[in-house]
C-alpha cells in the first residue's frame, strides 16, 4: 500500500525527524501535515488536530490557534469577519 523511501542526509536532525514520523500512525501523520501546512500558509495553525478515515473520505478536526482578537470577534458574533481574514 505505502512504500518507504530511504533518504541520505548529513543532517542527523533531519534523519531523526524522519524516523519519528515513520513511528506515527497514518492518521497522526496526516494531522501533522495539515497543521504544518496551515502554519506555513497563515503563520499560525491549530493547537490540536485529529484525523479520521471513513470509507473514501478523510476528516481532520482542528481546534485552537485563533489570536486573542479573533477569539473576541467570535464571542461578539463576528464569525464571518474571522473566517474571511487571513
pTM attached to this predicted model: 0.57
| Segment 18-50, tens digit of pLDDT | 766 666 788 999 999 999 998 898 888 899 999
In a domain, 54, yes or no: yes
Residue 21 is part of which domain span? 12-84
CA distances 47 to 13, 15, 29, 50, 57, Å, are 24, 25, 15, 11, 23
Q: Which of 1-5, 32-36, 38-42, 61-65 reaches the highest mean pLDDT?
A: 32-36
In a domain, 22, yes or no: yes
In a domain, 3, yes or no: no
| Other CB atoms within 10 A of residue 79 CB | 10
In a domain, 1, yes or no: no
Does the pLDDT value for residue 4 go beyond 50?
A: no
Amino acid at each position: 500500500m505505502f512504500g518507504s523511501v530511504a533518504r541520505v542526509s548529513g543532517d542527523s536532525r533531519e534523519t531523526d525527524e524522519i524516523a519519528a514520523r515513520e513511528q506515527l500512525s497514518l492518521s497522526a501523520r496526516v494531522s501533522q501535515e495539515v497543521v504544518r501546512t496551515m502554519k506555513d500558509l497563515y503563520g499560525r495553525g491549530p493547537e490540536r488536530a485529529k484525523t479520521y478515515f471513513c470509507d473514501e473520505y478523510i476528516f481532520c478536526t482542528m481546534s485552537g490557534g485563533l489570536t486573542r482578537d479573533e477569539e473576541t470577534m467570535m464571542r461578539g458574533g463576528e464569525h464571518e469577519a474571522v473566517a474571511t481574514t487571513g
